[in-house]
């Protein structure tokens, strides 16, 4: 083959390789996936949990993807959240707990400025939990709240006609007051999910249930106090937790990390019809309000207010 033809062939081949790598990276960014390291060593997967927890599916999907990544040697849940929905918090906890029992790679949870209520619930799925001395954590409890607009509607001359299949089908509707039986039913649901929280703390932190119940009145704790009570394993900065994970997996004090790439909600998403749950989660993270589910229904929250 002539030298010029050989050079042209190599140039075309190189361009094809560059194009292929670029396509993989672009696809990963668009899909919110991690980009695999070619020819690299092990790394630590960092999954952030920021703001109010909505469905929790963003962090769950990230864990599912990293779980299949053979280059990931350990997982770190990086928490800066006051908690949020009961369902989202429990989903993330169950994903971590499943990973912990089915995989031998270590899982760490680190609490930054705040990791309270549902965010703390999620952290219970990790092998160990660390916090800063001044982190806010705890807030073990459940809240359900919703507005009541019946008097305002009366003043405005507005009335909501309701046709329902049973007495309690519209309990929690802002258009009417709660009855005593409504309140008893909702209180039972709150009590049930509260008991689930207490049980999760007791079993995962190896504490007597009565001890946990004495702490589980919604109060918050500093990181130092949480350590002394056995709610967290120790005090550490995020860098120190990464170093701990690196040493435990043979990657040293400064391990390579990988994070999920989040796709932002933009104007095109709104024009194309972004999913309700995703938009609700985005709004909740900005406004701090996660008090409504679909259609304005009351919602159970593991959330520090």
In DSSP terms, 108 is beta-bridged to 76, 128
Rounded Cα gap, residues 302 and 86, in angstroms: 5
Question: Among positive and negative, which fits the CA dihedral 195, 208, 125, 287?
Answer: positive
As a whole number, mean pLDDT of residues 174-202 equals 93
Rounded Cα gap, residues 305 and 295, in angstroms: 23
For 194, list phi and psi in degrees, rounded to 5. Answer: -65, -45
* 89-114 confidence digits (pLDDT tens): 999 999 999 999 999 999 999 999 99
173 Cβ contact list (under 8 Å, min separation 6): 160, 162
Residue 209 has pLDDT above 80, yes or no: yes
- pLDDT at residue 75 in the model: 98
pLDDT band at 298 (very low <50, low <70, confident <90, very high): confident
pLDDT band at 282 (very low <50, low <70, confident <90, very high): low
DSSP 95: H
Task: Report CA-CA distances (Å) from 133 to 111, 217, 237.
Answer: 10, 22, 9
Rounded Cα gap, residues 84 and 15, in angstroms: 48
How many CA atoms within 13 Å lie on the side-chain side of 243?
A: 6
As a whole number, mean pLDDT of residues 26-40 equals 43
Cβ atoms of 99 and 64 closer than 8 Å: no
Q: How many CB atoms lie within 10 A of CB 177?
A: 10
Rounded Cα gap, residues 288 and 156, in angstroms: 29
pLDDT band at 39 (very low <50, low <70, confident <90, very high): very low
pTM to 2 decimals?
0.78
- pLDDT at residue 10 in the model: 53
Rounded Cα gap, residues 244 and 246, in angstroms: 5
159: its two tokens:
């009335």
DSSP 34: P
Q: How many CB atoms lie within 10 A of CB 209?
A: 14
117 is catalytic: yes
More confident residue, 33 or 80: 80
Residue 61 has pLDDT above 90, yes or no: yes
Pairing mode, if any, of strands 220-222 and 136-138?
antiparallel
Question: Has domain 42-147+181-303 been given CATH number 3.40.50.2300?
Answer: no
Write down the catalytic residue from 117, 135, 139, 173: 117
More confident residue, 18 or 251: 251
More confident residue, 185 or 13: 185
Longest Cα–Cα distance of the chain, Å, equals 92
- pLDDT at residue 167 in the model: 85
Rounded Cα gap, residues 193 and 143, in angstroms: 10
* 129-180 confidence digits (pLDDT tens): 999 999 999 999 999 987 877 777 778 888 778 888 988 888 877 778 888 9
For 285, list phi and psi in degrees, rounded to 5. Answer: -65, -25
Per this entry, what is the length of the chain?
Answer: 305
Cβ atoms of 54 and 85 closer than 8 Å: yes
259 Cβ contact list (under 8 Å, min separation 6): 34, 45, 46, 47, 48
5 is catalytic: no
Domain ranges of the chain: 42-147+181-303
For 224, list phi and psi in degrees, rounded to 5. Answer: -60, -45
- pLDDT at residue 207 in the model: 98
Measured at the CA of 282, the angle between CA 302 and CA 131, to 5 degrees, comes to: 50
Write down the catalytic residue from 164, 169, 177, 275: 169
Rounded Cα gap, residues 231 and 245, in angstroms: 20
- pLDDT at residue 151 in the model: 79
């Amino acid at each position: 083959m002539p030298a010029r033809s050989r050079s042209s062939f190599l140039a075309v081949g190189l361009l094809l390789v560059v194009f292929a790598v670029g396509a993989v990276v672009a696809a990963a960014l668009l899909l919110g996936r991690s980009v695999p390291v070619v020819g690299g060593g092990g790394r630590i997967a960092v999954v952030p949990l920021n703001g109010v927890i909505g469905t929790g599916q963003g962090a769950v999907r990230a864990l599912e993807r990293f779980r299949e990544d053979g280059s990931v040697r350990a997982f770190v849940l990086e928490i800066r959240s006051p908690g949020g929905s009961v369902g989202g918090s429990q989903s993330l906890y169950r994903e971590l707990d499943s990973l912990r029992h089915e995989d031998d790679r270590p899982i760490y949870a680190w609490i930054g400025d705040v990791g309270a209520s549902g965010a703390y619930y999620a952290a219970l799925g990790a092998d160990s939990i660390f916090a800063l001395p001044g982190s806010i954590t705890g807030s073990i409890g459940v809240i359900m709240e919703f507005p009541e607009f019946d008097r305002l509607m009366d003043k405005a001359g507005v009335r909501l006609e309701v046709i329902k299949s049973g007495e309690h089908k519209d309990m929690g509707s802002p258009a009417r007051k709660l009855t005593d039986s409504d309140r008893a039913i909702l209180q039972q649901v709150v009590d049930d999910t509260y008991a689930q929280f207490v049980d999760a703390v007791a079993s995962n932190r190896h504490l007597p249930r009565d001890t946990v119940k004495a702490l589980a009145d919604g109060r918050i704790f500093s990181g130092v106090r949480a350590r002394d009570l056995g709610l967290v394993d120790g005090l550490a900065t995020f860098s120190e937790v990464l170093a701990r994970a690196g040493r435990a997996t043979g990657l040293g004090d400064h391990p390579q990390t990988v994070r999920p790439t989040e796709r932002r909600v933009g104007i095109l998403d709104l024009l194309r019809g972004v999913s309700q749950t995703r938009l609700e989660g985005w709004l909740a993270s900005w406004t701090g309000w996660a008090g409504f589910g679909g259609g304005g229904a009351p919602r159970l929250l593991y959330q520090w207010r």
